[in-house]
Amino acid sequence: MSDKFDVIVIGGGPGGYVAAIRCAQLGLNTACIEKRINKQDEPALGGTCLNVGCIPSKALLDSSWKYHETESALAEHGVKIKGADLDLDTMLQRKDTIVKNLTGGIAQLFKANKVTWLQGSGQLKAGKQVEFQPLDGGDAQTLQAESVILAAGSVPVDIPVAPVDQNLIVDSTGALEFPKVPKRLGVIGAGVIGLELGSVWNRLGSEVVVLEAVDTFLPMLDKQIAKETQKQMQKQGLDIRLGARVTGSETTKTKVKVTYSDGEGEHTESFDKLIVAVGRRPYTEGLLSADAGVSLDERNFIYVDSQCRTDVPGVYAIGDLVRGPALAHKAIEEGVMVAEVIMEEATQVNYDVIPGVIYTHPEVAWVGKSEEEVKESGEAYKTGVVPFAANGRAMAAGETGGMVKFVADEKTDRILGMHIVGPQASELIQQGAIAMEFGATAEDLQLMVFGHPSLSETVHEAALAVDYKAIHVAQRRRKK
């Protein structure tokens, strides 16, 4: 193997593998170093997202929803099923097969694009040198590149009050693997990951208690959407306790006792399993030698400019290692951008239009600014909100909970944000993202023809509602 490359990417997650493929497409001789060993003890590409994140969690969310629907939501459609059986082994194996197919697919894409996959760990040194330590225990090699892309991702945050043992106290990875459905499940952290994984096990029969230190539910969401989401999740049986800070835990052979404090004092709960989902942090251990020259910011993210350049010329960092939302699609687009920056092409990720999604049921999705953010900025604005309860397709599907909301600029009519809680929110949100990317106004959406009956009609109605023109809801004019 040559020790010289045009580009070396460290990390083969959604940021790194996409960057490597795009670099190769642009004619650069590219290597991607990835050290992950999967559950089957094999080297694997795909990073957190494909192996233990987005994909396996969505596989379990879909499977658990089907089980829940069969058990309790089909009867209203006149479909009566007696005694649906849960075969958890099959459900978990199906998830593993999906992961294996997808990660194997990336290895194929590397081959097709002639990206060299170096199985082992990489460390950036001074002068764009990279020390590569192979997984097979062979000698370390010093490699040289014109450009280096750091894409080492993130790992779960640990808290000393609930140390993860991957048995009774697990992180998000352990929560994808429970061998049987825990009777009582505790979740620390009502963030996206805690709510998604709590929902999976709740649907499969666990009694779930979510303990969240902050007393606002999903503070990053538009307030009106957060309120409806909290209502919907509590209706499903998630016991969400806000303002509840976990202060300690104790394990016996089969139980975990958790203490937490809230406004009323100290409390204790006993669980069969506990998921710690208190956030993720950039994974920089072993990534940078002392003389690498790359700086970190105050939160330990690698410091980069808007095009992901670090302080060292020719060294870039992307994805969960750097500022911005820790989302796979953000990492992917940064990977593409950096490859194009290396080729001196004009390119820029639009950080103002990155959709966020929570894959609960109903789903929650948003893009752009919340009403509160716009209010705070002092811009004059208008909103349009329409519930799915007024939508024929939602009724047909028995999915009438939730709403679509637009926030638009009062003067220019430009769409500033779109917020959804409701059926297929993860798909519908892209309509707002496309509209915003093209600088659309609410009127642009008002003038478009939407297929009937479709959930998208609620997007149309919400855009109409911005100017009191919604047809299927009675609107009262706000007083100016």
Q: Which residues bind ligand FAD (CB under 6 A)?
A: 10-16, 33-36, 47-49, 53-54, 57, 121-122, 151-154, 172, 193, 283, 286-287, 319-320, 326-329, 331, 359
| Nearer to ligand AMP (CB atom), residue 159 or residue 448 | 159
On whether the CB atoms of residues 384 and 470 are closer than 8 A, the answer is yes
In the list ligand FAD, ligand AMP, none, the entry touching 10 (Cβ below 5 to 8 angstroms by class) is ligand FAD
Q: Which does 186 bind (CB under 5 to 8 A by kind): ligand FAD, ligand AMP, none?
A: none
8 Å CB contact between 308 and 338? yes
Choose the contact partner of 33 out of ligand AMP, ligand FAD, none; CB within 5 to 8 A by kind: ligand FAD
Q: Is the Cβ of residue 191 or residue 384 nearer to ligand FAD in the bound state?
A: 191
- Which residue lies nearer to ligand FAD by CB, 154 or 446? 154
Angstrom distance (rounded) from CA 286 to CA 155: 13
- CA atoms of 243 and 235, how far apart (whole Å): 20
Smallest gap from residue 470 Cβ to ligand AMP (A) = 33
Question: Choosing among ligand FAD, ligand AMP, none, which partner's interface includes residue 150 (Cβ < 5 to 8 Å by kind)?
Answer: none
The one of ligand FAD, ligand AMP, none whose footprint includes residue 246, by CB under 5 to 8 A per kind, is ligand AMP
Question: Alpha-carbon distance 97 to 261, whole Å?
Answer: 41
DSSP assignment of 26-74, as one string? TT--EEEEE--B-TTSSB--SHHHHHHSHHHHHHHHHHHHHHHIIIIIS
CB-nearer residue toward ligand AMP: 9 or 244: 244
Q: How far is the CB of 245 from ligand AMP (least distance, A)?
A: 5
Residues that bind ligand AMP (CB under 6 A): 159, 161, 188-193, 211-214, 245-246, 277-279
Report how far residue 235's alpha carbon sits from residue 257's, in angstroms, rounded to the nearest whole number: 26
Q: Which tokens in the block code for residue 239?
A: 């016991």
- Quick one: 74 or 159, whose CB is closer to ligand AMP? 159
Strand 273-276 relative to strand 169-170, pairing: parallel
Minimum distance between the CB of residue 200 and ligand FAD, rounded to whole angstroms?
10
Distance (Å, whole) CA 334 – CA 324: 11
Is 267 noted as a catalytic residue in this protein?
no
Residues 6+ apart with CB under 8 A from 174: 164, 166, 167, 275
CB 431 → ligand AMP: shortest distance, Å?
25
**Residue 188 beta carbon to ligand AMP: minimum distance, rounded to whole angstroms:** 5
Q: Which residues fall within 8 angstroms of residue 410, CB to CB, at 6 or more apart?
A: 379, 380, 381, 382
CB-based closest residue to ligand AMP? 191
Binding at 282: pick from ligand FAD, ligand AMP, none (beta carbon under 5-8 Å per type):
none
Nearest to residue 367, comparing CAs of 228, 478, 225, 234?
Answer: 225
Q: What is the 3-state secondary structure (H, E, C) of 336-371?
A: HHHHHHHCCCCCCCCCCCCCEEECCCCEEEEEECCH
Please choose which of ligand AMP, ligand FAD, none residue 278 contacts, taking the beta carbon within 5 to 8 angstroms, the exact cut-off set by kind.
Answer: ligand AMP
Q: Compute the least distance from the CB of residue 53 to ligand FAD, in Å.
A: 3
**Cβ-contact 433, 420 below 8 angstroms:** no
Alpha-helix runs per DSSP H in 114-254 = 192-203, 223-235
Return the number of the residue (117 or 450) whose C-beta is nearest ligand FAD: 117
Annotated catalytic residue within 68, 329, 452, 472: 452
Q: Give the whole-angstrom CA distance, residue 455 versus residue 404.
A: 10
Q: Is 107 exposed, middle or buried (0-12, 13-18, 19+ CB in 10 A)?
A: middle
| CB of residue 220 to ligand AMP, shortest distance in Å | 8
- The nearer residue to ligand AMP, 170 or 277, going by C-beta atoms, is 277
Active site residues: 452
